[in-house]
Amino acid sequence: AQKITQTQPGMFVQEKEAVTLDCTYDTSDQSYGLFWYKQPSSGEMIFLIYQGSYDEQNATEGRYSLNFQKARKSANLVISASQLGDSAMYFCAMWGGAGGTSYGKLTFGQGTILTVHP
Amino acid sequence: DGGITQSPKYLFRKEGQNVTLSCEQNLNHDAMYWYRQDPGQGLRLIYYSQIVNDFQKGDIAEGYSVSREKKESFPLTVTSAQKNPTAFYLCASSATQLAGELFFGEGSRLTVL
pLDDT per residue as tens digits for the range A42-101: 899 999 999 989 888 999 999 999 999 999 999 999 999 999 999 999 999 998 755 445
**Using omega within 30 degrees of 0 as the cis cutoff, is the peptide bond preceding A40 cis?**
no
State the pLDDT confidence band at B2, using cuts at 50, 70 and 90: confident
What's the CA gap between B55 and B65, in Å, rounded? 10
What's the CA gap between A52 and B67, in Å, rounded? 31
Per-residue pLDDT reduced to its tens digit, B9-47: 999 999 889 999 999 999 999 889 999 999 878 899 999
Q: What is the pLDDT of residue B100?
A: 58
Chain A environment of B58 (Cβ under 8 Å): 105
Contact state of B33 with A105 under an 8 Å Cβ cutoff: yes
What's the CA gap between B105 and A117, in Å, rounded? 29
What's the CA gap between A81 and A116, in Å, rounded? 10
Chain B environment of A25 (Cβ under 8 Å): none
More reliable by pLDDT, B6 or B102: B6
More reliable by pLDDT, A111 or A104: A111
Give the whole-number percent of chain B exceeding pLDDT 70: 95
A91 close contact with B: CB closer than 8 A? yes
Contact state of B102 with A50 under an 8 Å Cβ cutoff: no
B43 in Cβ contact with B60 (< 8 Å): no
- Which residue from A104, A105, A110 is facing B42, i.e. has the nearest CB? A110
Cα dihedral A64, A102, B45, A49 in deg (nearest 10): 10
More reliable by pLDDT, A31 or A103: A31
Contact state of B106 with A42 under an 8 Å Cβ cutoff: yes
State the pLDDT confidence band at A2, using cuts at 50, 70 and 90: confident
Q: What is the pLDDT of residue B97?
A: 47
Q: What is the pLDDT of residue B76?
A: 98
The mean pLDDT of B52-76, rounded to a whole number, is: 95
Q: What is the pLDDT of residue B96?
A: 67
The mean pLDDT of B55-61, rounded to a whole number, is: 92
Q: What is the pLDDT of residue A103?
A: 55
> Residues 6 or more apart from A61 whose CB is under 8 A from it?
A48, A49
